[in-house]
Amino acid sequence: MVEYDFSGQVAFVTGAAHGQGQSHAQHYAKHGADVVVTDIADEMATVEYDLGTSDELAETASLVEDEGQDALALELDVRNEDEVEAAVEEAIDEFGGIDILANNAGIAHFGDLVEMDERMWNEMLDTNLKGVWLCSKHVGKHFVDQGHGGKIVSTSSIYGLSAGPGSGHYIAAKHGVVGLTKTLALELADYDVNVNAVCPTGVDTPMISGVLEAYGEEALNEATDVTGPWNLFDHDAMIESRDISEAYMWLSSDAARYVTGIALPVDAGMLAK
């Protein structure tokens, strides 16, 4: 594991109850950051698998503390601006400031665009795109006000850089994250804020396993019939959350101080095909 130094810094991580968000939180703590861990800790109407729970969010906070760092656990619906603003203010009150925003919260499900229920579209775009904007808006305001820069890293997807059947709402949201990232990078450059996105291939997380259980292998096969096997490395295998966390750590560190406005694939070569 590469050694980064986030001593004295505070990371604000969304969707941190399990999966990639929990991994990101633990990695930030391993490298010396205090961490605000947030999650909706509730179910959503269109999501057919289990989302993170309050107990899992508390477990993430404990993992941060096990690394010798302070944790603040907040239940947060990133779709709700009042909740986002309040959570950012509470984090600043608790720690004195925020240095890193990790926009990880997201959902996934399948549906053809010409048959999709409007509620499914709205929950996807509100969570996976609007939520990234709201958190970036309020943490970004803080970065501007505090005057010594900051880092924003958001999770897009390989489907933020490509397309596939059966998940056009997800693809639209993840393309939107890339556009949002590039625009924020332009708008916040004068304030020394780096803004980047990570674009994973399939990652072995509760979200992916939940989607496969809810929709079956047929939905995945529909996509791979078009794209072929997912990856160049390990073909159909899922990569691990820690692979995405390492990209987050680099983009959050001084090693990437001149990197901004990019969408970084961590995709085992999928897009090279």
Helix (H, G, I), strand (E, B) or coil at 57: helix
Residue type, position 86, single letter: A
Supply 46's token pair. 């269109």
How big, in percent rounded to 5, are the helix, strand and coil portions of the chain?
A: 50, 15, 35
Chain position carrying tokens 């795109």: 129
Q: How far is residue 61's CA from residue 69's CA, in Å, rounded to a whole number?
A: 9
Burial 97-112 (b: 16+ CB within 10 A, else e): ebbbbbbbbbbbbbbe
Beta strands in the chain (DSSP E): 10-13, 34-39, 71-75, 100-103, 150-155, 193-200, 263-266
Supply 226's token pair. 């078009």
Residue of 4, 170, 215, 248 with catalytic role: 170
Q: How far is residue 43's CA from residue 210's CA, in Å, rounded to a whole number?
A: 13
Q: How far is residue 152's CA from residue 181's CA, in Å, rounded to a whole number?
A: 9
Helix (H, G, I), strand (E, B) or coil at 255: helix
- Residue 170 falls in the annotated catalytic set: yes
Catalytic residue positions?
170
